[in-house]
Each structure stands twice: as structure tokens, then as C-alpha cells.
Chains A and B, each alone.
Chain A
């Protein structure tokens, strides 16, 4: 029986489905004697757009760091295409974007876009790096700002460069921690729409941590709601709205219904759970 199960799964542990790029199983994280994440099961299908939403302190950023290999889970396992997160990161499979663009102020946009790639792949020449950086800037809509320094760019433009920098690695998955959290509402909408177009053009798998209900529904295919004390996935919601989506989707009755549903789920997630 056991042998057959393993064969049936193609030699992989049975819980990993073939179309899952990321699979977290029973992940718990203890930091400073606090249970930050409890028994997280998460699977992210290849090519999908998944959002993690939840109140402050629910550990959604920590979960993203676990997926990125920046935090080791206290128990449980994470696999990214069969590799550990650290192995996957070394193979340039993970692109990271944080709330702060963290560009190097002494480098221009194109050199910032190729900065991580230059470390990940030492065989590339300066010209190849520049070419790749320029290509990625064009993808994020900043093709004509290649020679501008970060202080000459607006907050939204800087975040575009940060996305270009992550995409330059040609990662399988883009992990984004509140990438638009510091932007104004209008820029934020525009960035979300751009991200959708980049996603559809490149076919990357995206995991987005967000505070925004609208953003989560506008962009993602699956939304996971995290609750506090301890951080755990309380509910999951599939967003059935068809792609390609644009901002008019926010006027769709189905969108409005999903907002109400997600808001109800989020309200429930603010209640501390049973830590046992």
C-alpha cells in the first residue's frame, strides 16, 4: 500500500501535488518563545497568484520569509519545486520584493535592476547585466528611466525598479511583502494593475502579502486569511473573477460580494484562537 502511494505520487511525498510549485506542510515558527506561526499548510499552484492577508502580528510576513528561506521553520517543511527554500534561492528561483524598494542610491535604475543578478551569476559581463537590467525596466514600464538615480524617481517608480530587480533573476516565484504598502491609493491601483500584466506576460507564480482587501481580490486567484495568536491560516477564498482583470473589476457585483465575504473572514481572524 505504502509503496504504491509513493509510486503514484511519482516518488514525491504524497502531499505534494504535481502542479504545486510551493508546498508548506505543518510549518510552525517559534521566535523569542512566542508561537508566531502554527501548523501552516499552504500550497501554491504553479503560475497562480496567491495573496496572504491578515491583521498585524498574524505572521504573514514571517510566513513569506519562511518561503524565501530567510527564516527557518521550527517544525514542518517547505518545498519549492522539490527543493528547500534556501536551495531554491541559490538557484535563483525566488524573487523578493519588500515594502521598501531598498535601491542603492549610488547606482542608476538599470544597475539597480541588475544588482542581484550580478551577484547570483558572476559569469555575466557588464554589458550582459546592463542588457538584462534594461529589458526588465522595459517590462515594468521604466524603459526610458534607465539612467536615473533613485532620488530622481517617485516612490512608485522605485518600487517598479525593485520588481525589475527581482524579475532579472528570472525566478520561478515572486514573493512580495506589502510591496505597495507605502504608496498612495492611486499609485497603488496602478502598480497592482501593472503587476497583473507582468504576471500574465511572464507566467510567474506570485505570493503577495497585503493589508488591502481590494488589492487581494483585484489581483489574486486564491486568498488565504491568517488569524492572530497564534498565526495560522483561518480561511481560504478562491477568487473566481475571470482574467484579464482591470480596475473596472472593482465595480463587478461579484467583486463587491467577495469584498464583503473577505471582510467578514478578516474580522473573525482578529479574534485570538486557541493556542493549544
Chain B
């Protein structure tokens, strides 16, 4: 029992509902509240890590909280094992910095913006912590409904279209997950993760197949894996850059968490292997990866290029996780962290650079590097990390992914990773070359305000540079992150630890 866990959900939820009331009285009080709550939520995460440091280093870390003191399998259980801790830390760190970035970046309708941002934060922590499958579905829907207004935040035609698409596909994916939840309850009479995991293998094969397929379709629609990839690029590029960073960097990682938790711990990986679905998932995910890279190469718009690159990387992550060896899961989780850092860094830098260009098009980016040469150097370094060049974190994760594919002698996978790397080199180098091109004719100064008013340049540039530094530093010292990631991989590989810790009182 540990009631610190519930505060991880309650603090952002309470903040979200407090902001409108505070906003009536004064703008300044709202700003203080936003900063204070973000720091409070972040420090709760830090407190959990510090107070359980010994257990984390020994990989025996497990916290749980029974809501309303209902003992499982009846009530809702919040639990945090190494996997949840890994994702929770990533969410807290990135959201703290995204909120700081937003303070400088978003200049209109700030009250509504932070309400939605904190609701997303609460939903993400809910997803990561919950031990109840219907609760998971509710939090997924909460995350969808609160992130869609942010997609339409610019209130122009493009944003509205993107939000409609995002909502339709998200809602249909949610329906599939809901059918899966219903089938689970109908067949097993329980909603608790650990309880489902205990008795799932006893079900007849047909029921198991149906449940697995509904959950897979739902998650793949929401993740934007190959047959459903078409909505993602528009949704991730039509919003303000801070939201692009959130959607493309953090929210998709939460869906990856759902994929890992459900298919490795709750349903067990055996069912995927029995039915031969694991090979199909790998093939689909690799197709998605190569398609994402090709579409990114053909794209002429920097934010859409980054969004397609997300499709490509998600494909790689899902494929490597489905290999289901210790090395593969370690590589997958490392790439989750790497892609989160790099994508947030790229989008925050892009958000700054696009303030000086008339559109998102490649031709308009000419000479944009000279606006802030340090920030563009950070952009270049991160892009190099995305390609997979050595000192950056992208190299470490790609190296592990290649090793994981070769280890299972899945040579097609490694060929596609290398091919993707080569394609990625071409589409990133295009933007970097254009950025350094000097403008020969005409006045270079063109300060354009899009809807996000740009009033604190220093905050925005500093956060973007900070993320670029993080990409390099974490890349150099990536061996230090081995410990927690290995613990998380252990938690993924041994579902019995999770089941016993929850049901064992």
C-alpha cells in the first residue's frame, strides 16, 4: 500500500479543474498555479525514485494502491513496477519541459490550453499506473478527447480537418478496444490485469483470438501502424509545435506502453506465438517503418516529414518488441526513450525556426539557420541522432535494435533498419542544407506571427537547446540508463512478478 501513487493522477486533474476558476481572477495567479503544479507533479516522481532507490537498483521495486480499499480482483488497483516507473519518468520529464516551452510559445487562449495539457498529463499517468482494463479504456478515451482540441488549437481550416480525422480514427480505435474489454469481461468475469493474466490461457482458442485481434486493431489504429498510418501525419503537423512534440513524442509512447503491458503481461506473449500473429505483427510493423521513411522522403513540409518519421520509428519499436527476447525488449525500450528525446527536441527547435518562415515548406526554410546558429546546430545534432550517428542517443538505440534483429537471425529486419537509416540521411540532410543556404536577394528579415504569439524567445530557444544537449549527453552516457531499462525489461519478460505482486496482498 502506498498512497503516493494516487497523487500522480490527482495533482494534474485537480490543477486542470482549478485553472478556469483562478483564471477568472488573475492571469498571473494562473501562471503561478501552472508552474507550481508542474513542479509538484515532477517532484512527486522524483520523491518516488529517491525514497525507493535501493529497490529500484535491485529491480524489486513495486508500489500499489487499492482505490477505496477494495482488495483485488474487485476494485481498481493502481500499481507501479519498473516498466511503469520508466514510462512515468519519461512522461513527467518531457511534460515539465513542454509546459515550460509552452509558457514562451503559446500566447493566446492560455487558460484553455493548460486545462487540456494537465488533463492529458493526468490521463497519461492514469494509463501508466492503472491495473484495471476498463479503467485503461476510460483513460485512453480521456487522452483522445483532451488531445483533439489541441490538434485544432490554431483554429484554421487545416487544424480543424486534422482534428476531425484524429477524432474519427481515435474513436473507432477506442470502440475496438471497448469490444475487447467487453469480450474479456464476458469470458472471464473480471477486469483486473493480474486476474485476467492468471486465467487467460484457460480460455478456448477462438475467444482468445477474438480478444487479441480486437485489442491489436484498436491499438494499431491509435498508434498509426501501416494500414492506418494515413491520419497521423496531418494530425501531428497541423497543431502548434509544442503540441506536435507532445503528440509525436510522448502520447504515442503511452500507446506503446499499452501494447507492452497488454500483450506481454496481461494476455501473455504465448498467445501471439501460438496463433502465429507475432510474425504478422513484425511484418506489418516493418512495412510501416519502410513506408514511413519513404513518405518522409517524398514530403516537402518539415512538420509532416517529422510526423512520417514518427510512423517509421514506431514501426521499428513495435517490430523489435515483438521479437520477444531480452535484448530486443531492452533495445525497444531504449529506442522509446531515444525517440522521445529526439522528437521532442526536433519539434521544439522546428517551432522556433518556423516563426521566421512564411510556410512549413522546404524552400521557405532557406537561411533559417542564421537566425539562431546555436539552436540550428542543436537541430543538426539531433537530426544526426535520428539518422543514427555515433555520439547521439539514436546511435545507441539503433545499434541495439540491429543486434536484436541479428540475434534472432531475422535478417530482413536488420536490412530494413539499415535501409531506413540511409533514407533518413537523405531527408534530414535536405533540410539542413537548405537551412544553411544564404539568401542572395531581398531582405532576409521576415518576422511572421502565426497564431501562436511568440513573446518569450529566450525560454523557447533555451528549452530547444536543452533537449539537444540532452540527446547528446544521454547518448554519451547511455550505459547509465541500462540499469532501469534492464529492470523494465525484466518486468516485461516475467509477468508472474506482476501477477503475484498485485494478487499476493
Are A and B physically bound partners?
Answer: no
Interface residues of B (CB under 8 A from A): none
Q: Which chain A residues have a beta carbon within 8 Å of chain B's beta carbons?
A: none
